Structure 1
Amino acid sequence: MALDVNGILNALRSGTPPKKHIVSILSGRTDEIKNFKAVLDTTSTGTGMVKFMVGDYGAGKSFLLETFKHIALNDDFVVSEMQLNSGFRFNKIEEFYYAIMHNLALKALPQVTASFDDLFNLWIENLKHVPDNTLKSKEILWVCDALARFNTNYSRAFLSYIRAKIKGDFETIRASSAWLSGEKHIPYAMKQKIDLIGSMDRQNAIDFLKAFVKLITLMDYKGLVILIDEADLILTERSDIRSTALSNLKYLVDLTTTGDLPNTLIVFSGANDLIDNPNFGVLSQPALFQRIQHHIWTISPLSREHLLELTEKTLEIFQKKYVLPSGITPEHVYTKINPSPQVQTREYVTALMTILDQETN
């Protein structure tokens, strides 16, 4: 795939990680990537895990999350990547499930937000290579039976989805897919038609998440990786919302450590306050902190060596589009920026791009 030079440079100008070709400017972070790969290996064996990645604002956490996404996709995991914001505040598990299902990424479709339909269609394409139609039918029924052990509504909706696909019943396809993806507002008549009972609530959401993870492992993916950025926004919420969100964190940690949510890795990323704020952070919840204290990755500023490496890689990409005067070397640019020992990656990158842009004028 051709390098998206404009996309990379525009992302760097704004201090954000590029969505494409992130490895082309990856510098340092060897230990963090090694740790993530080790956790991925453990997740692929059936373990569930929750990790917390914290560091100062601009330290490069979002960049690392994008790198983790790239690694997980290439290692045959399904990935869901999201940010906490005013519309998704982590105080409702059913909204968490909805966010997971509406921010999927697949190795076969790495540059777009995938959907349940995309996942299903890829599975069906693979089934087409099975020469025996009887075996195809048996696999579909076997999958439905396995899903029913988690939630009968999920299994019914999945079977309705398959039957609607065969018949070309687009209304039922949309309704079944919406239900499987966490939509709450399914018309009553349609729910009756596909034999669904109840509504999407906390328990249904957890059952659906367990069933979804089982489904993707049956489709030969290694598991599900959920990456959640800006998790420290929990601390800015009203006290009741914040308390519920922290309780949900504890609930997810317990689900993974007890084996009730296997093949699932959840990484929360945020400022240091997420953990060490004694009034609002994880530290304010002793039971939660006790559970996660050995699952925290602290991100430190890049060293001089790695900032020079980042500068060199950025120069190489920049010069694919722009002509720079002679004598513009990584050392020259680094000296001109003159960063402090504790400079954050975002601050350094935006200063770097400002200098390079000025040099072309």
Structure 2
Amino acid sequence: MVVVPESQAIVNALRSGLVPNAGLDHFATGLDALVDAVNEDLDFVAGGKGLSKWIRGEYGTGKTFAARYLCAKARERKFATSEVQISINDTPLHHLETVYRRLIEKLETAADGPNAFQAIVEGWLYQVGDEVVRLRGINEDDPGFADATEQRLEDKLADLSKRNPAFAQVLRAYHRATHEGDFATAQGLLAWIAGQPHTERSVLKAAGTKGKVDGQASLTFLAGLLQLLRQSGYAGLVVVLDEVETVQRMNAQTREKSLNALRQLMDMLANEELPGLYLVITGTRDFFEGYKGLKGLAPLYQRVQVNFSGEARFDNLKATQVRLMPFTDERLLTVGLRIRDLYPAKNPARIAERVSDAFLRGLVAQVTAGFGGKVALAPRMFLRELIDVMDRVDIHEAYDPKDHHKLELDDAKLTAEELAAKHGRPVEVATEDRAEAPEPSEGAEPAAPKRKRLDG
């Protein structure tokens, strides 16, 4: 039985057409084989290696859901995770410093939940201090404790400091500021190492550094985070780069920079410069096969290209690139049944009676028919409609969906892809004619980030 707070959070997200942040295992379907393959990858990564998995799927196959579900499973295995949604204005792929900042903002662990970066740093520093106490016999009240801890900190980050001394410098200054009770300086230093661009000079002066974390430094800082995680007992870090297909709508120069950023990450993984990183990248078929996508950079395309000419049931899920298959009527019905069972009803008997298996099967048929029989485009609207029906049944004693429910696919509520399917146009029309977007100018105010819809 799902506890009420979690079931309520799931239903609230689905009511708005969004992917829930938790509880996905209660209604995930068709992902067991992929989870098994990813678990083998994670075993390899936990041994101090780096690896990537590229997940390909069309609109409606649930790429975001799958990636978020994989993250949840990875956290159960003591991996930290972070989901970064790539977008033209808010998080452009070629601005690695921005990607790094979003990665830190979205960092999550099973123990500390979302926004876990500070807890990870403080937990690591606590372990360093504990080692000083155990190995050198210096307790926290000793005047030399701070110096001894900072020396131990330097020893544990010696290799990383050769490439980028700023990471260790700022951690050392953060520890000292915390030890001395200067929490304003400590928070400023932590924000700087997290990639935040606006830090007072007086704060950075305390660490003996200046400037901000740029693109190349951000990759070194990512290596530092991986080292902190491994030394803190975590198995590694799973990072999802979602919706990378947005690079296709950038101008040619920016697309090239974005693809080169991906190649650089792949090179660093291959060269074992990012040990403990499992990089998950999602995108559409056009991104994987189009010349505005991976084919725009041949060396990158050749690394991740997979032949999908055979039957989907024989796909090699151990390959670098895997594909998600569209929903079927039966799979959609299974999801509907599970959502009905976890719905936090005040009148559960009424829900069970009036939202019957037969009604759910009919609703699946209605919604998919509204999209020209394209089941792949139905999940988001089906789940929103189902939640709406159950809400009405739960609230109104006289409401019976057999008599009162009427499906209305309002154009204003549909995405471009759903609209194309509803009106009988090829789904690709919704995306193929978008104009190339200019590269965001430096210093421009980014657009507010959007929460991911359920369809992706």
User: TM-score, structure 1 length as denominator?
Assistant: 0.89
Unaligned runs of 5+ in 1: none
Please give the secondary structure, in 2, of the residue aligned with 1:89. Answer: coil
Deviation at 1:229, TM superposition (A): 1.7
Q: Could you tell me which residue of structure 1 aligns to residue 339 of structure 2?
A: 314
CA 190–332 in structure 1, closer or farther in 2 if over 3 Å, else same:
closer
Q: Could you tell me which residue of structure 1 aligns to residue 95 of structure 2?
A: 92
Q: Could you tell me which residue of structure 2 aligns to residue 27 of structure 1?
A: 29
- 1:352 aligns with one of 386, 397, 412: 386
Please tell me whether the aligned partners of residues 16 and 63 of structure 1 are also in contact (alpha carbons under 8 angstroms).
no
Counterpart of 2:71 in structure 1: which amino acid? K
Please tell me whether the aligned partners of residues 97 and 214 of structure 2 are also in contact (alpha carbons under 8 angstroms).
yes
Q: Equivalents in 2 of 1:135, 1:101: separation in Å?
A: 35
- 1:53 aligns with one of 39, 52, 55: 55
Please tell me whether the aligned partners of residues 23 and 67 of structure 1 are also in contact (alpha carbons under 8 angstroms).
yes
- 2:300 aligns with one of 274, 280, 288: 288
Q: Could you tell me which residue of structure 2 aligns to residue 156 of structure 1?
A: 169
**Which of these two proteins has the greater Rg computed from alpha carbons?**
2
- 2:78 aligns with one of 76, 79, 86: 76
Q: Equivalents in 1 of 2:225, 2:158: separation in Å?
A: 13
Q: Equivalents in 1 of 2:304, 2:213: separation in Å?
A: 29
Q: Equivalents in 1 of 2:205, 2:302: separation in Å?
A: 46
Please tell me whether the aligned partners of residues 50 and 252 of structure 1 are also in contact (alpha carbons under 8 angstroms).
no
Q: Could you tell me which residue of structure 2 aligns to residue 231 of structure 1?
A: 244
Percent identity, please: 22
Counterpart of 2:104 in structure 1: which amino acid? M
- In the alignment, structure 1 residue 8 sits paired with structure 2 residue 10: yes
Q: Equivalents in 2 of 1:208, 1:319: separation in Å?
A: 43
Q: Equivalents in 2 of 1:226, 1:180: separation in Å?
A: 18
CA 52–135 in structure 1, closer or farther in 2 if over 3 Å, else same:
farther
Counterpart of 1:310 in structure 2: which amino acid? V
Please give the secondary structure, in 1, of the residue aligned with 2:3. Answer: coil
Counterpart of 1:27 in structure 2: which amino acid? T
Please tell me whether the aligned partners of residues 82 and 103 of structure 1 are also in contact (alpha carbons under 8 angstroms).
yes
- State the Cα deviation string for residues 180-199 of structure 1 (Å, max 9, x = none): 11133333343233111554
**Pairs within 5 Å for 1:298-309:** 298-309=323-334
Please give the secondary structure, in 2, of the residue aligned with 1:200. Answer: coil
Counterpart of 2:64 in structure 1: which amino acid? S
Which range is displaced more, 194-203 or 84-93?
A: 194-203
Deviation at 1:177, TM superposition (A): 0.8
Counterpart of 1:343 in structure 2: which amino acid? A
- State the Cα deviation string for residues 43-91 of structure 1 (Å, max 9, x = none): 1112212222121212111111221121111111111112112211111
Deviation at 1:126, TM superposition (A): 5.6
Please give the secondary structure, in 1, of the residue aligned with 2:158. Answer: helix
Q: Equivalents in 2 of 1:325, 1:189: separation in Å?
A: 63
CA 199–337 in structure 1, closer or farther in 2 if over 3 Å, else same:
closer
Q: How many residues align?
A: 358
Q: Could you tell me which residue of structure 2 aligns to residue 122 of structure 1?
A: 123
Q: Equivalents in 1 of 2:10, 2:385: separation in Å?
A: 15
Please tell me whether the aligned partners of residues 60 and 346 of structure 1 are also in contact (alpha carbons under 8 angstroms).
no
Which segments of structure 1 move beyond 6 Å, counting only runs of 4 or more? 127-131
Q: Could you tell me which residue of structure 1 aligns to residue 360 of structure 2?
A: 333
Please tell me whether the aligned partners of residues 173 and 206 of structure 2 are also in contact (alpha carbons under 8 angstroms).
no
Aligned residues: CA RMSD = 2.6
Deviation at 1:354, TM superposition (A): 4.5
Unaligned runs of 5+ in 2: 139-148, 307-319, 400-456
Please give the secondary structure, in 1, of the residue aligned with 2:51. Answer: strand
Please give the secondary structure, in 1, of the residue aligned with 2:94. Answer: coil
Please tell me whether the aligned partners of residues 256 and 297 of structure 2 are also in contact (alpha carbons under 8 angstroms).
no
- 2:376 aligns with one of 334, 343, 347: 343
